[in-house]
Structures are given as structure tokens and as C-alpha cells.
Amino acid sequence: MDAVRMCVAAVLLFSGCVVVCQAFLLDATCSGRCNAGLDHSKSCQCNTACTWHHDCCTDYSSLCTGSSGHTGTGSTGSTGGSVTCSSSVNDVSEALWKNDVNRVDASMYTLNLQTKVTDQNTADRASAPLFTRVDEAAINSRPTFRALLALQDNYDPVGGHADILSTQENNEVNHFLDEALKTPVMKTLLDYLKCRNLVPDEAHLRSTLKSLWFTGYPRHGHGQADSSGFEHVMVGEFKSSSVVNGLHNWLAYYTKEKAHEINYYGYVAQAHPNLIATNYDWQGRHKGLGSFFVGTSPEFDMALYTLCALTHTGAVRLDGSTVHVQIYDVTQISGMQIASAYPAF
């Protein structure tokens, strides 16, 4: 509004500035730009990442938060976990959270945080594991959790070792996608991506998920296909003989800790909702800061990161809190491939 008053005053004094002022106002507004990607030609931005980088246009909150990311008419936001074509990315992320019916709630697991450490810590400051208790009956009653567990042994974590999946292992991938696409979380994602003309139907969403997450690639730009987005994020791998790479899924962490492959050193940070950053050793390799959601379903993790990747979003709203999400693309391969995805502290 200040810009409007300044421009009106300028018009009264100098009629020749009308065109300039109009251009300034168009440049400094989110009108028609909600959830648009980063535009270096503009003086301010209109996506959820702008709240992180402190470069939002002054009307970002009024025009984009809880309102339309499109120019069409309709509902001003999602309620009760629903999504319409007028939903913002924040509406969609909240709907994903509300619709995560397979999430394991806090009554079904117990964390033993123990000592708070920095991400530079390399000593064991915790005498016990992170997970004291997990209701495995609850885990095994959920089809997507069972399908995720079946995929944990399909990948060689050592860098440079090719991941050649057998027919059975490829069937397990397809089964995981089948189960994930049945869930309210993935149906919510599909509704929004269809509105954004990013996928036309479920078959294309399935193809997109398979390309983003399961297509193998050489992590270091040459050699054999030794990695994938799924392996990196949802299973974990080794960057070297001394460093862990990826592993941003709580169930993958828990299964390795239960098998005595992970030695928990302490926690680096906690945040709402259900976020933790850990410091640990996995088979002699160290992870200074490994972050993940606790209790969320595998379909939620993949849907949220897919949403952020396809909309180029760096921060979302979950259960009323802003959560920063880091997505990396595989730059040496044409098109979007998940190199890494995790909640950022």
C-alpha cells in the first residue's frame, strides 16, 4: 500500500512517471505469481521459499498463503485434508499431513534422545539406542510399511557398486508403488498435480514417481548406476569408507539400529512436527547430521518431497509449522531426478 501511495503522489507531481510506477507495482506484487518459481528478474518472490530467504513481496501473505496459487476461482484453501485447484502449496502440504492415515503416532514408539550434540561430534555420547520401543505390529499392519521393509535389502550401499535389481526385486518396487498410490496421501498429491497440469492421471503420476525415485544413476557422474533417489533417501548408502550418505527415513534408520548396524551418538536438533536430526555411526561410517520425520508413512515422505521437487518449493507448512525441505537434483542427467531430499534444520 505504501508503494501505491508513493506512486499516486509521483503521478500528481510528474505525469510522465505513470508507466514507470505501473511497471514497479507489477514487479513488486504476487498477483498472478503465487507459487511461481524463483524469478531473478523480479524484485521480490512469491513462493514458500521466500519466507526462508526473506524476499517475499509485501502482498505474499494476503494473496498466496491459504489462497490461490492460480488465477482461477474456487475454494480459498484446503480444509479437512482436501485439495482444490485453488489450493496453495502450503494447503497441499497440510492436506498431505492430515491425510497421512498410516502415520505411526507417538503412542506407538518411544525415543530416548539422551545427549544433545553438534553435527561435528564424532564420539558416542549416548549409551542407548535412539528407539527404545516401536510397535512392530502396527508397522506390519500397514501395507506401505511392509512394502518399504521388503525393499530395504535390494540395494548395495557401497558407492561404485551397481544396483542390479532381480525380477523379484523389481516386482517389489512395483508392489510398493501399487500400495502407495492407493493411499489418501498419494491421491491428494495426484489431485494437486493434475490441477497444476504436471500429471494428467494416476498412470502418469506412477511413471513420474518411478522416474524420480527408482531410476538408477551413477552418483558421481560416471561409471555404473550405483544409486537412486529411493536408495539414497529411503534406504541409505555409503559416501565413502568413513561417511554415510542419505538415509532420511525413520523406518530405515530404525531397522538398521535394531540390527545393531547403527550406533546412535546423540541428537543434533528437534522440531515440530516429528522432526529429528541425529548423529550416528553406521557400520563404521559417520553421519554428522541425519534428519528425518519420525512415524510418518513412506508414502507421506515421498509425496512431500515429490511435491517440493516438482513445484521447486523450499519450505512448506505442516501441522501449522514451517518446515524447510532440501531437494537436490541429479545435475548430470537430463530432467528431474531425486539426488537427495530431507527436512533441513
Which amino acids are annotated catalytic? Answer: 232, 248, 287
DSSP conformation class of 232: I
String of b and e for 121-134 (b: at least 16 CB within 10 Å)?
beeeebeebbbeeb
Question: Distance between terminal CA atoms of the chain?
Answer: 34
Nearest to 70 by CA among 46, 41, 99: 46
Write out the E strands in 201-320: 237-238, 244-245, 262-271, 275-282, 285-293, 315-318
Helices (H), the chain: 2-13, 18-27, 50-53, 60-64, 89-98, 136-140, 143-151, 167-181, 184-195, 202-209, 229-230, 250-258, 298-311
Instruction: Kindly report the length of the chain.
Output: 345
Contacting residues for 12 by C-beta, under 8 A, at least 6 apart: none
Q: Count Cα neighbours of 20 within 13 Å in the Cβ-side half-sphere.
A: 9
**Sign of the alpha-carbon torsion through 272, 312, 177, 199:** positive
